[in-house]
Amino acid sequence: MANSLQQIQAKTVGAAHAVKAGFNGLRGVFLHLAEEHGEVGSLMRRVLKSPDPKVRREHYPQIRRELLAHERGEVTAVYPVLAQHPETRGLALAHDREAEELEAAIAAVDAIDFTAPAWGVAFEHVYNLVQRHVQEEEDEIFPKAQDALGEEESEALLGRYESAKRQVE
């Protein structure tokens, strides 16, 4: 588990992500998801920059847990709602395929020892998938979804997402 200073740093980055998302008009679940993107991204960058197996061992379990809970929460609670709207249906289907790709990449990292050079390569692949995913969601999917759902439904969806995420954690 990351130490307190690193947790604070990740929370700070997440809050900055949320502020930016809020300025871009995101509310409710979409604002919250953007905040989570910032937090896990901060931890991932820390691991990506370090070849030290101790750093990997310390942070990866939390990163893995957060990524999987986030994606499964989205797949369970958020994207089925988006699939009901014509303007976001295609985005929802594409997201589900990308979530499967991310889970497979995480499983590949899981299968490699923290000390192996291949671990860093596999983790970098996960990092790149996450960065691409975050950019696509925050720049394209979330704004369209926010427009399709409106603020009230976006707020209501946050509770359903949190509940789904707790169930998969």
Q: pLDDT tens digits, residue range 107-139?
A: 999 999 999 999 999 999 999 999 999 999 999
Q: Does residue 89 have a pLDDT over 90?
A: yes
Provide mean pLDDT across the span 55-68: 95
At residue 18, the pLDDT reads 52
Domain count, the chain: 1
At residue 27, the pLDDT reads 79
Domain that holds residue 67: 4-168
The CA distance from 84 to 93, in Å, is 11
Q: Are 17 and 37 in contact (CB under 8 A)?
A: yes
Q: Does residue 68 have a pLDDT over 60?
A: yes
The CA distance from 91 to 136, in Å, is 10
**What is the residue whose two structure tokens read 């958020």?**
78
The CA distance from 23 to 157, in Å, is 20
Q: Does residue 1 have a pLDDT over 50?
A: no
Residue ranges in 24-141 assigned as alpha helix (H): 28-49, 53-73, 79-83, 89-110, 117-136
